């Protein structure tokens, strides 16, 4: 695959922004993109993807603050692969988090569209990216069809970050068409966990998980 001009411009803008980690979370430019307070939410994703597995091979697309990786570490994966195109984000999170996840860690510093699609390599895939405005669902479907499906082993699991109380109809349709089965759980972040700089419109989330 290649990047469209819109994607190239979007990626160049993101890469030009400085990254900062403080007591609340990670900022890219002036925007908080992930919070330590999301650890409970990420533990639900990790449990849905890795519960009952031993020695799983895990792919995370959009490494960010590494909160999901920290939760996944409790399941003792055999390998951890991350795709994170912002080199400063990847460097900071690899130093802070990934060396404690497992011994076998690989980080790609390109957008997922430029990473060779894996062939039945992974037991679990977690997807959480920052796409160009208006392209989130199209990118999601392309990723599922051209990357996640060929990249998962039979019976492998897929999940993604979903803010809001209801999964969108577009995402639900993609999940139903592309996977053997899928289900979803709802989670509301307790008010006392909400950080002062909370940027998301809601404390409600959906935790979807699909089976290859």
Burial level of 30, CB count in 10 A (0-12/13-18/19+)? exposed
Segment 153-180 mean pLDDT? 96
**Residue 42 has which token pair?**
């990420």
Residue 166 has a pLDDT of 94
Average pLDDT value for residue range 9-19: 95
Q: What is the CATH number of the domain that holds 178?
A: 3.40.50.150
Whole-model pTM? 0.96
The number of distinct structural domains making up the chain is: 1
Residues 187, 164: Cα–Cα separation, whole Å: 9
Going along the chain, which residue ranges are E strands? 19-21, 25-28, 31-35, 57-61, 79-83, 104-108, 122-127, 152-160, 181-188, 204-211
pLDDT of residue 52: 92
What's residue 173's pLDDT?
96
Instruction: Please identify which residue in the block is written with the tokens 């160009």.
Output: 132
- Confidence category of residue 54, pLDDT binned at 50, 70, 90: confident
> Is residue 48 classed as helix, strand or coil in its secondary structure?
helix
CA distance 122 to 101: 16
Q: What are phi and psi of 143, to 5 degrees?
A: -60, -45
Residue 185: give the domain boundaries: 5-211
For tokens 């790609």, name the residue: 108
């Amino acid at each position: 695959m290649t990047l469209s001009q819109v994607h190239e411009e979007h990626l160049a803008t993101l890469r030009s922004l400085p990254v900062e980690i403080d007591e609340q979370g990670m900022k890219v430019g002036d925007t908080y993109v992930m919070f330590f307070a999301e650890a409970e939410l990420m533990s639900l994703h990790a449990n849905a993807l890795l519960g009952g597995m031993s020695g799983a091979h895990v792919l995370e697309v959009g490494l960010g603050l590494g909160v999901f990786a920290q939760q996944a570490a409790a399941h003792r994966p055999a390998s951890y692969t991350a795709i994170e195109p912002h080199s400063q984000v990847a460097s900071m999170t690899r130093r802070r988090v990934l060396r404690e996840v497992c011994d076998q860690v690989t980080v790609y510093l390109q957008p997922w569209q430029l990473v060779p699609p894996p062939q039945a390599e992974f037991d679990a895939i977690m997807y959480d990216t920052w796409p160009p405005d208006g392209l989130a669902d199209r990118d999601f479907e392309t990723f599922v069809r051209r990357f996640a499906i060929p990249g998962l082993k039979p019976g492998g699991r897929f999940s993604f970050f979903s803010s809001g109380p209801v999964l969108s109809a577009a995402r639900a349709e993609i999940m139903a068409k592309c996977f053997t089965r899928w289900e979803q759980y709802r989670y509301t972040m307790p008010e006392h966990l909400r950080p002062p700089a909370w940027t998301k419109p809601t404390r409600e989330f959906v935790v979807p998980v699909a089976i290859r």
